[in-house]
Structure 1
């Protein structure tokens, strides 16, 4: 578009130059009969100039819009790159399910407040704030330690810098209670909104991640058993059965009958003739079960 504008301007300049040369060579030829008057030529040139100005303005406007779109596209690309490499601080409710030996055991576990960096780069100067202080039930703590433990937990979410650097994949947990008792209606505080503010090495601007924690939603979440713990528990069950079977099949007490004892006592007596062969009687071994 810019080259086209330059060409049109050069053509207009060339036309004006030829017109001036013709006036110098042939005189004011517009005064000839049936030719436009000077006023008409002025009006024509004025209209042409206005048309050229409008066309130039339109081209400049198109170029400006194109530049704005290019800037917007570059900004979107930059934001996409930043979102791809920036850290992501997530706060969630996680339940570690208890794995029992019996597969038919009740579904129970411990619930934790979890803070993790799921992004590829470290998060710096991490500040956490929560709208409602975290709270739990007295039944989960011995010796009335609930207030002390909850106070320690809420200090992490008071808005000050608690993590100078939160490396990628790092995970921190704080005990909140036991499931399913924590989902009981007597627990009045059931929703929290946590805001995490932090910086990264990629950009200088501050990032903000918001996490919504809801006990009513978490109690609907399916919690699978840890497969390694499940295998370990199954092996313990197999070991217990093998111990029981070994106790049942191995003899606990062995005794000899009186005939066998007599035969054994006579094996050292020299008879001068071959000793009769001994037969194993049915009562040689006695197993006490």
Structure 2
């Protein structure tokens, strides 16, 4: 059992009950060559979203590898088909990070519409200011339309929170939401983009969603609209986003994920109409431990000949 990063004690202990656990000697992301060397001979790999699991890594691991347990709800870092060809199970960690990610989405939404980051920078820079009727005016949320791109568990959790702020909610998804989902209008993507005051992304990264928000999509949004992304960075064409902001095609953006993490497009960094956080969607003590424990349970189940709690189908 190989871990690509050090995990919380609760997860390590669960794994130690079923296998010998090998943790990396340093707590930093391993390079591709380092990870291939580390996984050689392993029967299980517990990895993070920055670890690329591809043919080269699977070949380096060897035919005895049985499971790749990814500590993330998304698994765009894992070549699932390459794993299936080798009989390797792939698992992820959905559910346990839903509330944390939805909470951060609302924090970003409030932060960008009420200019929180901009105000914080003003005060820290020691710039003069004074209360006035038109000082640093933001945008109120009551009655505004929130357009959700993707309406799975996280999108629905965001919808519930947005309703508490008096927002109208619509969503674009391949199919209508199942019974029990928060009430929201199901719209084609083009109509959603054109009619929303805030567009928030909650879709997985796939070949179809890469650069889903491109120059054309941004031009179709309202000039006073905001874009929020807590999904995956490459869903947004960052160069197109910078151009749209410079042209005034949208009012602002709040991003927790980036196209080429950990790098951020330099055109985004110096802008007051952009709020940036370093991939903090699931970053609470409780959530990160729950993710690690779920990944450990998945790996342990496969090694024990059982069905894992959250397999990737």
- Highest Rg: 1 or 2? 1
Q: Which has the higher strand share?
A: 1
The alignment's TM-score, normalised by the length of structure 2, stands at: 0.21
Q: Which has the higher helix share?
A: 1
